[in-house]
């Protein structure tokens, strides 16, 4: 099929990599170059990098409501437009262009977690299962009928690991869906509006750790975090990004080491680093101090005087 692909992050780049092997991609649409990570320099999106490697035309409009952009897209005469985490609304004029419509790979089991941050919201909600759905796009936010879904177990996976898994599942699901659509045998299932939930975008500082969090909430925040939305904390006066945190329920040794910890305290005991939370404690496994490389908790604690006595404190960054 002759396709246009629209997407931006690594999730979408993985799907494009597989799509280009089996179909003709006449153009790729992605978000404009932007500041990504530390520093002031702009960088291309992961999708743009893949497209350039294959010599595919890349377009980065700031809106698809522009008539000249719509005319260019229509002139490409795509059989379908495939979308994955593009980050931009497709207006009705664009939805009407392709022969087989606009098809979206969405990282949730619809109608759960429609919207911008399905992976993160599923983790924060403590869901045990998630997945991807290939859906037919319409004017509503992720409201269209779907034809294929694939499930994945949440377990204790981070947002990055889960996104990678869902990208691979979504890629295979999309390739299958395109065959079914072209052959006219796709079975479209309408979503149950009464079961719909919405995955609003992650706000700045939302995933920062606070002593008021209970251990489970803190662990889920760290699992849901990413370079774009890190879990910051100030541990014993050091500003860090917490990269890995685990609960200690059922860990008798850890429970003994933290038995008298107060909320907001920090303790290094038994060569393990703990933070006091509301209703218990959690173990810090990996951190990235500001301006330094990531390190394990033992290496971090080695540079802090007095941490063994448990009198040091931690909290969210100032102003949060």
User: One digit per residue, pLDDT tens: the chain, 320 residues?
Assistant: 999 999 999 999 999 999 999 999 999 999 998 876 555 678 999 999 999 999 999 999 999 999 999 999 999 999 999 999 999 999 999 999 999 999 999 999 999 999 999 999 999 999 999 999 999 999 999 999 999 999 999 999 999 999 999 999 999 999 999 999 999 999 999 999 999 999 999 999 999 999 999 999 999 999 999 999 999 999 989 999 999 999 999 999 999 999 999 999 999 999 999 999 999 999 999 999 999 999 999 999 988 877 765 567 888 887 45
Are 274 and 258 spatial neighbours (Cβ–Cβ below 8 Å)? yes
Q: Is 246 strand, coil or helix?
A: strand
Q: Which residues contact 266 (CB under 8 A, 6 or more apart)?
A: 235, 236, 273, 274, 275, 276, 307, 310, 312, 313, 314
Looking from the CA of 202 toward its CB, the CA atoms found within 13 Å total 23
What per-residue string of b and e applies to 206-226 under the rule 16 or more CB within 10 Å gives b?
bbbbbbebebebbbbbbbbbb
The closest alpha carbon to 78, from 26, 29, 30, belongs to: 26
């Amino acid at each position: 099929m002759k396709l246009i692909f629209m997407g931006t992050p690594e999730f979408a780049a993985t799907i494009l990599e597989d799509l280009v092997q089996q179909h003709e991609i006449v153009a790729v649409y992605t978000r404009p170059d932007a500041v990504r990570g530390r520093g002031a320099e702009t960088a291309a999106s992961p999708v743009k990098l893949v497209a350039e490697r294959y010599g595919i035309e890349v377009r980065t409009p700031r809106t698809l409501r522009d008539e000249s952009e719509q005319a260019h897209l229509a002139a490409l005469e795509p059989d379908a437009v495939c979308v994955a985490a593009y980050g931009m609304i497709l207006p009705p004029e664009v939805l009407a262009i392709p022969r087989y419509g606009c098809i979206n790979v969405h990282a949730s089991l619809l109608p759960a977690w429609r919207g911008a941050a399905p992976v993160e919201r599923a983790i924060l909600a403590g869901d045990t299962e998630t997945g991807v759905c290939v859906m037919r796009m319409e004017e509503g936010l992720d409201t269209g009928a779907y034809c294929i879904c694939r499930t994945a177990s949440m377990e204790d996976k981070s947002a990055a690991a889960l996104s990678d898994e869902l990208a691979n599942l979504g890629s295979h699901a999309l390739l299958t869906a395109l065959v079914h659509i072209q052959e006219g045998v796709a079975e479209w299932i309408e979503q149950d509006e009464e079961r719909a939930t919405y995955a609003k975008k992650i706000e700045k500082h939302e995933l920062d750790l606070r002593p008021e969090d209970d251990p489970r909430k803190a662990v889920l925040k760290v699992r849901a975090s990413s370079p774009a939305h890190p879990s910051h904390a100030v541990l014993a006066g050091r500003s860090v990004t917490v990269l890995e945190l685990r609960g200690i329920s059922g860990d008798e040794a850890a429970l003994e080491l933290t038995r008298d910890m107060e909320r907001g305290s920090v303790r290094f005991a038994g060569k393990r680093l703990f933070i006091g939370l509301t209703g218990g404690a959690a173990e810090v496994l990996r951190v990235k101090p500001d301006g330094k490389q990531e390190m394990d908790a033992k290496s971090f604690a080695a540079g802090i005087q007095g941490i063994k006595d448990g009198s040091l404190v931690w909290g969210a960054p100032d102003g949060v």
